């Protein structure tokens, strides 16, 4: 496993981040524990979750699984850079969502109880709150840092100007501000190259791409369909047909490289200078093992150029659409 700093911070994290959204809804607790143990044994020290994860088992269920995992001891918590998130509504009460100082305080305390830990390494805003001023948000975060409950702050699903505003307001308060941004980013979805990535890099933030294989479209979907003959959902079928020429060219190129498509998709992200760690969200041990293999895939400039030809990206704004 390779490691890098999370943005401009001194925090060392693995080049792959273990996403836990499937733990509970899709993956039972015993398998979730096995996945986490195997990931740590492979050197993955970066785990990501959120207070709202849990689906039918109830919001908070995934954090509770992680808490019971850490409670087993064996340095499991000590070996983990733990990231969780705040924003989503946890109940129908009017103050149990978004980024008010009240909800930040309550949500953090509730997450700590579920996670069975006294601090979170990275506390992330799951979405931008357009109705709460940054002075209020940063004051709440400063208090949490002073109390030792969080170490770093991060964002998720922010626009470039949201990042710029958040960082400007943090600097005005002599606060560290954001060290990372989670965004949708993969070979098929490269929109953040216009403004989010430049904003993050200018402000010393690492990028953590979620859905790095675009819901499986970059994971060898056509090859798997041909091998199994299984039908996919109408929604997935529509996405496949929309992108079929590019996906066919991609899978053929991966075959030329002698690599699995999923490993190439993850490796491409790790070759992007702005990216700290793609977030892999395995449901099974097999999916985890497939993701871990991406760390060993090295792409030369010719391969990177070919991938850009198959999946064209964007220039930074304004050059992407103006002179």
What secondary structure letter does DSSP report for 275? B
Contact (Cβ atoms closer than 8 angstroms) between residue 91 and residue 61: no
For residue 322, what is the enclosing H or E element? Answer: none
Beta strand 279-280 pairing with 17-19 = parallel
- Please give the full DSSP string across 15-55, using - where no structure is assigned: SSEEE-TTBTTTB-HHHHHHHHHHHHHTT--EEE--TTTTG
Contact (Cβ atoms closer than 8 angstroms) between residue 149 and residue 120: yes
The owner of tokens 């992680």 is 66
- Please give the full DSSP string across 61-87, using - where no structure is assigned: HHHHHHHHHHTT-TTTTTT-EEEEEE-
User: Structure tokens of 258?
Assistant: 């002698």
- Phi, psi angles (nearest 5°) of residue 265: -60, -40
How far apart are the C-alpha atoms of 296 and 289, rounded to whole Å? 12
Residue 53: active-site member: yes
Contact (Cβ atoms closer than 8 angstroms) between residue 86 and residue 104: yes
Residue among 53, 87, 152, 185 flagged as catalytic: 53
Neighbours of 27 (CB within 10 A): 23
Helices of type H across 173-229:
196-202, 221-228
Contact (Cβ atoms closer than 8 angstroms) between residue 120 and residue 111: yes
User: Structure tokens of 244?
Assistant: 């079929």
Residues tagged active-site: 53
């Amino acid at each position: 496993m390779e490691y890098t700093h999370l943005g401009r911070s001194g925090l060392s994290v693995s080049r792959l981040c273990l996403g836990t959204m499937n733990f509970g809804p899709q993956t039972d607790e015993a398998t979730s524990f096995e996945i986490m143990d195997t990931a740590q044994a492979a050197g993955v020290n970066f785990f990501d979750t959120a207070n709202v994860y849990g689906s039918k088992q109830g919001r908070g269920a995934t954090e509770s699984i992680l808490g019971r995992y850490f409670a087993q001891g064996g340095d499991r918590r000590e070996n983990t850079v733990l990231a969780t998130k705040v924003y989503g509504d946890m109940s129908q009460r009017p103050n149990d969502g978004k980024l008010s100082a009240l909800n930040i305080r309550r949500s953090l305390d509730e997450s700590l109880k579920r996670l069975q830990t006294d601090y979170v390494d990275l506390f992330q805003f799951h979405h931008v709150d357009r109705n709460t001023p940054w002075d209020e948000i940063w004051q709440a975060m400063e208090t949490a840092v002073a109390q030792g409950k969080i170490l770093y702050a991060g964002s998720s699903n922010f626009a470039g100007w949201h990042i710029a505003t958040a960082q400007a307001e943090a600097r005005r308060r002599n606060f560290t501000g954001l060290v990372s941004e989670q965004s949708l980013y993969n070979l098929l979805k490269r929109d953040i190259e216009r403004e989010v990535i430049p904003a993050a890099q200018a402000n010393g933030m690492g990028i953590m791409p979620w859905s790095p294989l675009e819901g499986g479209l970059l994971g060898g979907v056509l090859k798997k369909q041909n091998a199994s003959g299984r039908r996919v959902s109408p929604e997935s079928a529509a996405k496949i047909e929309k992108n079929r020429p590019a996906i066919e060219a991609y899978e053929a190129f991966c075959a030329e490289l002698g690599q699995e498509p999923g490993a190439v998709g993850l490796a491409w992200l790790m070759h992007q200078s702005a990216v700290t760690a793609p977030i892999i969200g395995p449901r099974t041990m097999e999916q985890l093992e497939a993701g871990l293999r991406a760390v060993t895939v090295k792409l030369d400039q010719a391969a990177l150029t070919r991938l850009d030809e198959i999946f064209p990206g964007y220039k930074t704004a304004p050059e992407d659409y103006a002179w």
